[in-house]
């Protein structure tokens, strides 16, 4: 069985405090982004199962069969795009079918929460309100005729989310709950203008996003949003290449991407990655990819020069 595990972004994220165990109460609007996804292949195997989701289900339901699970990562780890939780949820749903467990959506969500507080969202996908620690899910209408352009970024901190929450000043958080309510109303009315006006994220008090971009989760990835018939056709065409580009960068273990108007077009390993977000006219993606050799280290100034950008 071959399945996809899609990325997510957060259209709203309010941090409302924390409990005695240190978990933070949040109110967030999740949005599934099918354009960026991990690829998962599941097949029967004689060897022992290594995947933690499969191990949990085998133990809980007395399953004697084993499976081999291969995951092709296109969603960067530690990016704020939910890749690990999405994979866990996708595998959980797939094994529910393969092993004929007949678990309901509610039962799947409860199990998914053991593998990440945003994992229950991925059981349903679409557009969803998450409350409590993010694991209590309420479906919302799926946004139509709207384009999200993801700008994936990496974190080398394996406890990135924990570190980000620890760095928040809770006195500066939780003041945009009215915007979340307006956002939910806008989603229900498919009011794109109001959706864009009410996007917010309390983690931007810690890490402000660039102009025209919004932070996803605790970051560092961001996204931009467009609606209506004004979406640039060339941009839409270029955006279709994002998955293939991430496949190449994954194989070569290249950690950063040169951007054109928020769209990844070229893999490099720059000294100063943040300076590589290029907002300049590049005539042809193929030409740009040819002009900078993959895998070599360049300063921002050198890349600008090689791309012919002043």
Residues identified as active-site: 8, 118
And the tokens for 175?
A: 């003041």
Q: Give the H/E segment covering residue 73.
A: none
C-beta neighbour count of 120 within 10 angstroms = 28
Give ∠ CA 31-33-36 in degrees, rounded to 5: 150
Burial of 211-244, coded b for 16+ CB within 10 Å and e otherwise, reads eebbbbbbbbbbbbbebeeeeeeebeebbeebee
The pair phi, psi for residue 179, each rounded to 5°, is -65, -35
Cis peptide before 291 (omega within 30 of 0): no
Going by their DSSP bridges, the two strands 127-131 and 136-140 should be labelled as antiparallel
Angle of helix 52-61 relative to helix 83-98, nearest 10 degrees, comes to: 40
Helices (H), the chain: 52-61, 83-98, 105-112, 119-124, 160-167, 177-188, 192-197, 233-239, 242-252, 285-291, 300-306
Residue with tokens 């999200």: 148
- Taking phi over 0 as left and psi of -120 to 50 as alpha, with beta for the rest, 244 belongs to alpha
- C-alpha span between 180 and 202 (Å, rounded): 11
Contact yes or no for 287/262 (Cβ under 8 A)? no
Which residues are registered as beta bridge partners of 125? none
């Amino acid at each position: 069985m071959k399945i996809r595990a899609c990325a997510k972004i957060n259209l709203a994220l309010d941090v409302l405090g924390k409990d005695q165990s240190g978990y933070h109460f949040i109110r967030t609007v999740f949005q599934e982004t099918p354009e960026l996804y991990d690829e998962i292949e599941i097949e029967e195997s004689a060897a022992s199962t290594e995947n933690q989701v499969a191990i949990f289900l085998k133990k809980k339901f007395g399953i004697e069969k084993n499976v081999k699970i291969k995951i092709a990562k296109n969603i960067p780890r530690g990016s704020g795009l939910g890749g690990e939780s999405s994979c866990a949820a996708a595998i959980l749903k797939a094994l529910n079918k393969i092993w004929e467990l007949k678990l309901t959506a509610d039962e799947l969500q409860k199990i998914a929460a053991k593998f990440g507080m945003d994992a229950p969202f991925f059981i349903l996908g679409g557009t969803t309100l998450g409350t409590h620690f993010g694991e209590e899910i309420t479906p919302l209408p799926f946004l139509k005729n709207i384009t999200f352009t993801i700008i994936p970024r990496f974190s080398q901190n394996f406890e990135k989310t924990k570190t980000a929450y620890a760095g928040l000043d809770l006195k500066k958080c939780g003041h945009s709950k009215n915007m979340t309510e307006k956002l939910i109303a806008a989603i229900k009315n498919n009011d794109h203008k109001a959706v864009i006006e009410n996007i917010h994220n309390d983690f931007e008090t810690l890490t402000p996003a660039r102009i025209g971009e919004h932070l996803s989760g605790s970051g560092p990835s961001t996204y931009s949003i467009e609606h209506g018939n004004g979406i640039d056709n060339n941009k839409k065409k270029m955006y279709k290449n994002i998955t293939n580009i991430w496949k190449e960068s994954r194989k070569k273990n290249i950690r950063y991407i040169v951007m054109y108007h928020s769209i990844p077009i070229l893999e490099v390993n720059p000294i100063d990655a943040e300076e590589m977000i290029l907002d300049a006219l590049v005539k042809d993606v193929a030409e740009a990819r040819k002009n900078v050799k993959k895998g070599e280290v360049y300063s921002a100034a050198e890349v600008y020069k090689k791309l012919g950008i002043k």
